[in-house]
Amino acid sequence: MTEPLTYGRYLHLDALLTAQAPLSRPEAHDELLFIIQHQTSELWLKLALHELTGACDDLADDDLPLALKRLARVKHVQKQLIEQWTVLATLTPTEYQRFRGFLGSSSGFQSYQYRAVEFVLGAKDPAMLEVHADDETARALLTSALDRPSLYDEFLRLLARRGHAIPADVLERDVRVPHREDPRLVEVFRAIYDDPEHHWDVYETCEELVDIEDNLQLWRFRHLKTVERTIGLRTGTGGTSGASFLRRVLDLTFFPELYAVRTAL
């Protein structure tokens, strides 16, 4: 006889709530906070990746309204991720030092779901696959995201199908490499921004993409400030350069023409 479905069974709470295994000995009280912060972030990243991938498919199918619905959800997920830093920021340097040494070579830099989100948004780097050479699941996810057109690629293709003057070499480019700013695209977006009433849905999509990049930059900034208040300028776990590395990535952009058009208007 099949057991009745319950809340706990449906959500696999027996596995979920026993997935926190602090390594510090004696066990540091605050390590649980650190683990849950990162586990919940990975769950939100899983949902964000699911919605972004769906939005890519919707754009490829010319279903812009559904893509916009998914992107709106992504923005709410991002807000959850941003706000989570305020919880981790309650971890003082002294509290963190009580278990930091037990983390070994593990690092948030190794989050393959975060890298996959970046790939889907267009910041592709094949070298990231080597970071996960020993993890088949991670490599498969990243390879899939690397090989397919990014969200921005799909949006530009949709614009081309609607008659906007997207250059052929942009449409036919190697999607495994990052997109680079193209002044010809700035002119395309300038025409859209100059006449939003006649291009409302793509105009709205442009602003949704800017919102998503803005939120990601806020997430990066909150990450940076949380690291600075917890370990200062010390080297990060796993050998990363810590705050200095996080400060550099604030300059990375996904949709450069959507920012450049603001200067052109």
Q: Is 164 annotated among the ligand-binding residues?
A: no
What is the C-alpha to C-alpha distance for residues 237 and 143, in angstroms, rounded to an integer? Answer: 26
Handedness of CA 200, 161, 120, 57 (dihedral sign): positive
With b meaning 16 or more CB within 10 Å and e meaning fewer, what string describes 116-141? bbbbbbbbbbeebbebbeeeeebbeb
Q: Is 212 annotated among the ligand-binding residues?
A: no
- Give the residue among 211, 217, 165, 212 at the shortest CA–CA distance from 191: 165
Q: Is 179 annotated among the ligand-binding residues?
A: no
What is the C-alpha to C-alpha distance for residues 185 and 188, in angstroms, rounded to an integer? Answer: 5
Q: Is 223 annotated among the ligand-binding residues?
A: yes
Q: Is 162 annotated among the ligand-binding residues?
A: no
Q: Is 35 annotated among the ligand-binding residues?
A: yes
Residues annotated within a binding site? 34-38, 96, 100, 223, 237
Residues annotated within a binding site for substrate? 34-38, 96, 100, 237
Residues annotated within a binding site for heme? 223
